[in-house]
Amino acid sequence: MRKNFSQTLKHLIKFSSIKLSALADFIGYDVSYLSKWCNNINRPSPKYIARVNHRIAEFIAEELVKQDRLYPFFNEFGIKLSTKITAENAKERLNKEINNLLNDAYYQNQAESLPANNEQSFSPTTPYQTIVGRTNIKKFFNSKIASLLSGLQESISILITSDIVTLLSRDAFLDFLSYCHFSSENINIYIGCNTDKLAHAPASFIPRLYSMLNKYININFHIYNDQSFSHSNVITVKNYFSLQYSIHKDNLMDICTYIADKNISKEIWERTFEKFDYKSCILEPKHDIELVKFRSFFYLDSDLLLFCAKGFEFFLPAQAFKKLLNSSRDYKYSSDMQKTIQNMQITWEEQFESAHIDFFLPEANIIRYIENGQLTYGEIDYVTSAQEREAQLQQLIKSMQKNPNINVYLLGESQPQNEEEYFKLSYYSNTKTAYLKKNKSFLKNVSKTIYLLKDTLLIDKFNQFFRNLQDRPTCRKFSADELEDIYKKNNALLYRIWQKNAPVQ
């Protein structure tokens, strides 16, 4: 259950062990005011809340840095870290997170206390309705709009002309998605991207984007260069309703008009959709089968970065390729698929000899693969036998011994406790082209399985994000000798695992 402003403020004060009087002096309020805020007798005025929260965050962040309680704070308040925190940016990060906690609690608290007539004034069939004020707008989206979208059984297509860099710089958009419990099995969301903002995006942007694509794996996100619609300020849901809004200088909505008139909403959709020019798409969902011919050329490059979120489809022995060829006959465009498999086998064998290849393997993923042998090759789900997995490991070791430019990095993350904590998106890059691939075992609908990156700047930023994984304290680089030593020492254990998990014939 989310805490209100009073509870959050008291929690922060107690955790940081600060005196109420010292905080009151710092923010310029009488201590009696803070006492009322903490006891839920009163709250700061909406007019001054931004300044109040900023000053409170600044004071508490300073104290926590002095106490060297950075990571205890993140654990206490359940904040997951997606980027490394240095000593230089610790205070800034604490300040930001405390400010977010207070703002979220305040606006949540405000929304819960709205008068009953506000609560009952909305109807999905009301042709027009204007909502004024960010607190009312936030509640409107997280309750009414989220509820509408959650109840739709048919396909959902949403156009959002906002800039994705700006959207992910705040929590409002991700917060809204968390309230949407989609029933539809086919959801497409089209979002804009300001390429100038992308060029200067903070380091946190790509981790947040990857996290969003990973968490909402059953949604197809399409991202477009927004130069044709950057001033539109429109959200429109095909065949249902549209929203037009104005933006405050802090990039939050100030005024929003809901339009349910079918004819008007249809015209808004058509006028907006025509601005989403296919040529300006920079992140495009695709079916895996559409990349059949693309892959033959993809691996010809001599510099590869491969992040594997399901199985390990590389260094497969010859017998596995033969079985894959047999399986491919059941797939659409089977002749193209078979040719690709044959070409891939030849290409990989050549690339393993000389190419620079960085493999990044999440620990939870590789453990699952050692146990069950499940991988996806293109659109083909395949289970390697114990013998094939052993031959695969031996081939990896031999290739690394011959080619010192093959690197294996193991990400020793904590064991996931639920679906949300798993890596679900693999990443394949040859520095010039790149794509993300969904782990199909997490898919619950007809979602497309590939995100093709079509913008050089976006590819560069994703490459940097994944290469920076090697700087994590939990990431370890393995040499060929180390892998061989592990294999020899654990050979008997591996056989026991493989025997135990072998499929029943």
Domains: count for the chain = 3
The DSSP symbol for 504 reads P
- Which domain CATH number covers 102? 1.10.260
Do 334 and 413 fall within a single domain? Answer: yes
CA distance 291 to 453: 12
Question: Distance between CA 272 and CA 161 in Å, rounded?
Answer: 8
Same domain, 330 and 304: yes
Q: Are residues 346 and 254 in the same domain?
A: no
Does residue 147 belong to any structural domain of this protein? Answer: yes
Structure tokens belonging to residue 202: 């903070």
205 and 297 inside one domain:
no
Tokens matching residue 82: 């997606």
In the block, residue with structure tokens 């694509």: 213
Kindly state the greatest CA–CA separation across the chain: 78
Tokens of 496: 């026991």
pLDDT at 43: 86
Give CA–CA dist 88/93, Å, rounded: 10
* Nearest in space to 494 (alpha carbons), one of 400, 412, 386, 385: 386
Report the residue count for the chain. 505
Q: Which residues contact 359 (CB under 8 A, 6 or more apart)?
A: 306, 308, 314, 406, 407, 408, 409
Structure token digits, residue 384: 């390697």
pTM: 0.73
Closest alpha carbon to 58 in 20, 18, 95, 24: 95
Which of 84, 112, 140 terminates a domain? The answer is 112
Going 467 to 472 to 478 to 483, the CA torsion angle's sign is negative
- State residue 497's pLDDT score: 59
Q: Are residues 291 and 235 in the same domain?
A: no
Same domain (yes/no): 91, 194 = no
SS3 407: strand
What is the phi/psi pair of residue 461, to 5°?
Answer: -70, -40
Using a 10 angstrom Cβ sphere, with 0-12 exposed, 13-18 middle and 19 or more buried, the burial of residue 395 is: middle
Distance CA 363, CA 174 (A): 27
Tell me which H or E stretch contains 138. helix 134-139
Q: Are residues 102 and 238 in the same domain?
A: no
In a domain, 505, yes or no: no
CATH code of the domain containing 129? 3.30.870.10
421 located within any domain: yes
**What does the angle CA 393 – CA 394 – CA 399 come to, to the nearest 5 degrees?**
100
**Are 169 and 80 contained in the same domain?**
no
Residue 330 is encoded by which pair of tokens? 């059941």
CB 260 within 8 A of CB 241: yes
Alpha carbon of 270 to those of 128, 186, 266, 267: distances in Å?
19, 20, 6, 5
**What integer pLDDT is reported at residue 504 of this predicted model?**
47
- The boundaries of the domain holding residue 321 are 287-500
Rounded Cα distance between 252 and 50, Å, is 13
> Within 13 Å and on the Cβ side, how many CA atoms surround 171?
15
Q: Are 462 and 282 in contact (CB under 8 A)?
A: no
Specify the pLDDT at position 423. 85
Can you read off the two tokens belonging to residue 55? Answer: 């000053």
Same domain (yes/no): 129, 74: no
Are 170 and 301 part of one and the same domain?
no
In the numeric block, which tokens belong to residue 377?
């090759």
Residue 70 exposed, middle or buried by CB count within 10 Å (0-12, 13-18, 19+): middle
Q: Please tell me the predicted confidence (pLDDT) of residue 115.
A: 44
In which residue are the tokens 């693969």 written?
369
DSSP 434-462: EEEEE-GGG--SS---EEEE--HHHHHHH
| Radius of gyration in angstroms for the set of CA atoms belonging to the chain, rounded to a whole number | 26
Give the count of alpha carbons within 13 A of 15, CB side only. 21
450 and 416 together in one domain: yes
- Cβ-contact 146, 178 below 8 angstroms: no
Could you please report the per-residue DSSP string of 50-117? Answer: HHHHHHHHHHHHHHHHHTT-HHHHHHHTTPPP-S---TTTHHHHHHHHHHHHHHHHHHHHHHHTS-HH
Report strand pairing: 356-362 vs 303-307.
parallel
**238 and 161 share a domain?**
yes
Residue 159 lies in a domain: yes
**400: domain CATH number?**
3.30.870
H or E element that contains 298: helix 292-298
Instruction: Identify the domain boundary among 280, 295, 320.
Output: 280
180 part of a folded domain:
yes
pLDDT 10s digit of each residue in the chain, 505 long?
Answer: 567 889 999 999 999 999 999 999 999 888 888 999 999 888 888 778 888 988 999 999 999 988 888 888 888 888 776 566 777 778 888 888 898 888 878 866 554 554 444 444 566 767 889 998 888 888 899 888 998 998 888 999 999 999 999 999 888 898 899 888 888 889 999 999 999 999 999 999 999 999 999 999 999 999 999 999 999 999 999 999 999 999 877 778 889 999 999 999 999 999 999 999 989 999 999 988 777 677 767 877 889 999 998 888 888 888 888 888 787 776 655 666 777 777 777 777 777 888 899 999 988 888 888 878 888 887 788 888 888 888 888 999 999 999 999 999 998 866 555 566 678 899 999 988 999 999 888 887 667 899 999 999 999 999 999 999 999 888 999 999 998 888 777 666 565 655 555 554 4
Q: Is residue 52 part of a domain?
A: yes
Q: Helix, strand or coil for residue 171? A: coil
Domain boundary among 112, 139, 168: 112
The reply to whether 133 falls in a domain is yes
Report the alpha-carbon angle 135-138-141, nearest 5: 150
User: DSSP class of residue 312?
Assistant: -
